[in-house]
Structure formats: C-alpha cells, structure tokens
Amino acid sequence: MSPEPEDTRSERAGPELGRRGEEEDASTPQRDLAAAVAIAAFALGVMAFALALPNPGSLFTAPGLLPFLTGLTLFAMAVGLGVAAVRAGGARGLGGILSSGAPDSDAHPGRAWALIGLLVAMVVVIDAVPFEVRFRVAGRALEIGTFEVVSIPFLAVVLRLFWRASVLRCLLVAAVAVVGFAAAFRYGFNIPLPGSG
C-alpha cells in the first residue's frame, strides 16, 4: 500500500471537515432535483389532507393547523432544494440518478433490490403463516414458532447471496443465530415472539 499523497491528507484535515454532514457525499444535483420533486408532491398531499380535516373548535385549535403549516414549509423547502439543484446543473443527466455519482455506487442495484425483496417477503410471511410446536426437553417446556421457521430459511438465503458460503454453512449459521436470538427473547427475557405466544 503506497502512502497517501500529502495534498490529499491536508485536504481531508482541512477546515471544511468540521462542517461535513453525515450524508453530504451521497448528494448530486440530479438526485437533489428528483428528491425535491417527490418531496414537493408529498408536501402538497400533506396540505390537502390537512385542509380536509374537520375542525370542531376555532382556527387556533384546528387539528390540521400544524400539519398544514408543516406541509407548507416542507413544500417551500422542496422548492428551495429544487432551485439550488437546477442552478448546480441538476436538470442535465437526470437519467443516471440511481446509477452513479455517489460513493455508494459500488453497491450493486440488483443485490440491493434482491435484499429488499427478501426482507419484505420475510416480514410478510412471518405475519401470514401460523405455526407453533410445543415439546418438552429434560422436563422443560420449549416451543418453536413462526419466527424461527420462517426466519431461518430467509436468513440462510440472504447469507448465501451476500456471504457466498456453502448452503449448509449458511443454513447452520442462520439456524444458530435465529434460535439463539429467539431463546434470548423468549426464555431469557420472557418476551413473546411474533407469530406465537
């Protein structure tokens, strides 16, 4: 590994460091413009629903008062963000919003979408599938519920996809982790798990 050039180091330690935000690097004018449009639409929706709320008392106690003001100011901020983005050249190259220009561009969109799909499916299936088996081991009542039965295969698939170990290893790690967490919650802290009592 070669030493870092002197000028890069001094830049990193420069005065701007104290003002860096946690997400600043992920921003591009194109992304800002797209976000501004979406947020402006969201803000208009917030205002419309706030205006439609019934008002049993005076204007000052109206349930939609702060939601409306929030929507209005959010809309103004979205316009501000959009204008700044256009001035910075955000209207050019809008097509590449999701694919480049940010430090997380080494994230593969396909892998990210696969992960999102798996996580959504896991949460939905835990809710949809009722399962509970009770048994006794050494005089102690134990149980296996929906959470374990669904989480283990889903977690194994996620591990296989990203960790890339053998199927058996992924299944083993997933089983040990899920059963361990479930046991800590159910028996260690007496907290019921989703999908079972």
Partner 1 sequence: MLWDQLLLALSPYLLVVCLAGTTLGILWGAMPGLSTTMAMALLIGLSTGMSQDVAIMFMLGVFTGSVFGGTITAVLINIPGTPDAVPTMIEGYPLARRGEGGLALGTAIGASFMGNWIGILLLIALIPVILRLALEFRSWEMFLLAMWGIAISGTMTAGKRPIKGWISGWIGLVFAFVGLEPIYGVPRYTFDVAILEDGISYVPVLIGLFGLAEILRVLPQRNPVGIPEKVGRVVPPISTLWKHARVAVRSGLIGTIIGAIPGAGANVASFLSYDIGRRRASPEERAKWGTGSYQAIVCSEAASNANIGGSMLPTLTLGIPGSAAAAAFLAALELKNVVVGPTLQIEHPGLIYFIYFALIIANFFMYGMAIVLVKPCVKLFSLPQALLMPLIVPICVLGAYAANLSYFDVYVMLGAGLVGYGLRRFGFPLAPMVLAVILGPLADENLRRALVVFEGKSWSAILIEHPIGTLLLGVVLYTFYDGIFRRRS
* Residue 71: other Cβ atoms inside 10 A: 21
Q: Per rule CB under 8 A, is residue 142 in the interface with partner 1? A: no
Q: Are strands 140-145 and 132-137 parallel, antiparallel or unpaired?
A: antiparallel
Q: Which is nearer to partner 1, 22 or 139 (CB)?
A: 22
CB 50 within 8 A of CB 5: no
Q: Which residue has the tokens 């870092």?
A: 4
Q: Which is nearer to partner 1, 139 or 186 (CB)?
A: 186
Q: Which is nearer to partner 1, 139 or 181 (CB)?
A: 181
Q: Binding residue for partner 1 (CB under 8 A) from 5, 10, 138, 141?
A: 10
**CB of residue 92 vs partner 1: minimum separation in angstroms?**
18
Q: What is the DSSP letter of 159?
A: H
Task: Looking at residues 46 to 105 of the shown chain, list those that interact with partner 1 (rule: CB under 8 A).
Answer: 46, 49-50, 53-54, 56-58, 60-67, 70-71, 73-74, 77-78, 80-81, 84, 98, 102, 104
Q: Binding residue for partner 1 (CB under 8 A) from 89, 96, 117, 188?
A: 188
* Residue 170: other Cβ atoms inside 10 A: 21
Q: How far separated are the first and last CA of the chain, in Å rounded?
A: 55
- Which one of 88-96, 106-114, 137-145 is the stretch in contact with partner 1 (CB under 8 A)? 106-114
Q: Which is nearer to partner 1, 14 or 139 (CB)?
A: 14
SS3 category, 5? coil
Biggest CA pair distance of the chain = 72
Number of residues that bind partner 1 (CB under 8 A): 88
The identity of residue 169, as a single letter, is R
Rounded (5°) CA angle 90-96-97: 65
Task: Looking at residues 151 to 170 of the shown chain, list those that interact with partner 1 (rule: CB under 8 A).
Answer: 151, 155, 158-159, 162-165
**CB of residue 140 vs partner 1: minimum separation in angstroms?**
18
